[in-house]
């Protein structure tokens, strides 16, 4: 049985009131904000029964209003990067705001992470709804979006649905940063990760996929069996992991698949992720630089990890990738489950 409650968490100037929703089961406690449809916290038990908040975030609303690192947020209309902030749909070229080097990232300067979503209670959780107008951040079509968070026992489910009045790219995910040791842990070097993917996408210097789909075998990206993150980061080129792992391919049927497992042996906490999405972006917080978070903790490089279940990056510009286009009359629908257990 999951208890669901809500309280007003603040009202930043000109934005309107922000709700804080609490989902509580016997094993897990989750907080969700109507700002950005964000996961503010997830408290889960360790091996000895001790509860820790394993999601990075802020103590006060102002932190989320000014945040540029997408802590806990739902990102869209298109998560991840679009090369040069440009794409062509039905013969028309669209230009987006450039907000990540030479590319467009996570929906633009004011993406879904900065919107106030309409939140309503549902069985075991909360449903958040948003209307993204035609032309929003440069994207075509009015899009009606819902994100539902439900908690059942030890599993938090995020379900994404959308419809559009025009053909548009869409790619929704949650950008929670996790550290299974809790808020005070400086890094994730003592976490073990495995990702059920035989291939990954190499990227260029601006983190755009090159178009190659490369086998992980024999590379530092082989996470098919559990790997300690700290030593493996020393083998990965660049500042760390920020790569798409391929869970399915164009033409594969829509189904939920096991995607990843992360274990923190010292506390016994385990996070398992399954999803219907064709990819998962494994990101090791390479660009956190001392951001002040909950309890005054400084969140630095490699202080956490993200498992962003999503379509492959820049899919709108790469014909060999799974399509990210949503056409009028079609339904966008994906599910991701986060399960918190112990060993």
Type and span of the H or E element at 333: strand 332-342
Task: With beta carbons less than 8 A apart as the criterion, state whether 43 and 151 touch.
Answer: no
Cis omega before residue 77 (within 30°)?
yes
Has 134 been labeled as part of a binding site?
no
Is 66 annotated to bind a ligand? Reply is no
- Locus of tokens 């070229």: 93
3 state SS for 50-86:
CEEECECCCCCHHHHHHCCCCCCCEECCECCEEHHHE
177 is an annotated ligand-binding site residue: yes
Q: Active site residue: 31, 52, 272, 308, which one?
A: 308
232 is in an annotated binding site: no
- 63 phi and psi angles, rounded to 5 deg: -60, -40
Does the annotation count 175 as an active-site position? yes
175 is known to lie in a ligand binding site? yes
C-alpha 261/C-alpha 274 separation (Å) is 9
Phi and psi (nearest 5°) for 64? -75, -35
63 token code pair: 């932190």
Active-site residue (options: 175, 191, 243, 334): 175
How many Å apart are CA 179 and CA 285, to the nearest integer? Answer: 11
Query: Do 294 and 59 touch, CB atoms closer than 8 A?
Result: yes
Apex 165 CA angle, 161 and 170, nearest 5: 45
State yes or no: 80 annotated in a binding site.
Answer: yes
What is the distance of C-alpha 309 from the center of its chain? 6
The residues carrying an active-site annotation are 175, 308
Annotated binding-site positions for beta-D-galactose: 80-81, 175-177, 242
């Amino acid at each position: 049985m999951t208890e669901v409650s809500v309280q007003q968490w603040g009202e930043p100037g000109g934005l309107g009131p922000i709700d804080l929703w609490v989902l509580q089961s016997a094993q897990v406690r989750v907080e969700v904000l109507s700002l950005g449809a964000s996961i503010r916290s997830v408290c889960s038990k360790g091996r000895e029964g001790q509860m820790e908040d394993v999601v990075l975030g802020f103590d006060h609303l102002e932190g989320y209003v000014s945040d540029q690192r997408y802590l806990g947020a739902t990102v869209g209309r298109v998560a991840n990067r679009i090369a040069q902030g440009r794409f062509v749909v039905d013969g028309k070229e669209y230009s987006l705001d450039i907000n990540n080097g030479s590319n467009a990232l996570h929906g633009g300067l004011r993406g879904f992470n900065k919107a106030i979503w309409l939140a309503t209670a549902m069985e075991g959780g909360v449903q958040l709804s948003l209307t993204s107008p035609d032309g929003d951040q440069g994207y075509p079509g009015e899009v009606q979006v819902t994100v539902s968070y439900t908690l059942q026992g030890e599993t938090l489910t995020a379900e994404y649905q959308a419809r559009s009045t025009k053909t548009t790219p869409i790619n929704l995910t949650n950008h929670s940063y996790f550290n299974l040791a809790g808020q005070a842990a400086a890094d994730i070097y003592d976490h073990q990760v495995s990702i059920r993917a035989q291939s990954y996408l190499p990227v260029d210097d601006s983190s755009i996929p090159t178009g190659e789909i490369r086998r992980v075998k024999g590379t530092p990206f082989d996470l098919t069996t559990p790997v300690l993150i700290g030593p493996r980061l020393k083998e990965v080129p660049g500042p760390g992991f920020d790569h798409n792992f391929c869970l399915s391919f164009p033409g594969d049927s829509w189904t939920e698949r096991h995607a990843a497992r992360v274990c923190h042996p010292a506390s016994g906490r385990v996070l398992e992720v399954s999803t219907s999405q064709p990819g998962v972006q494994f990101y090791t917080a390479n660009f956190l630089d001392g951001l002040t978070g909950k309890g005054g903790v400084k969140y630095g490089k490699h202080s956490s990890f993200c498992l962003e279940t999503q379509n492959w990056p820049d899919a709108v510009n790469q014909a060999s990738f799974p399509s990210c286009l949503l056409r009028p009359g079609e339904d966008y629908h994906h599910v991701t489950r986060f399960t918190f257990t112990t060993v």
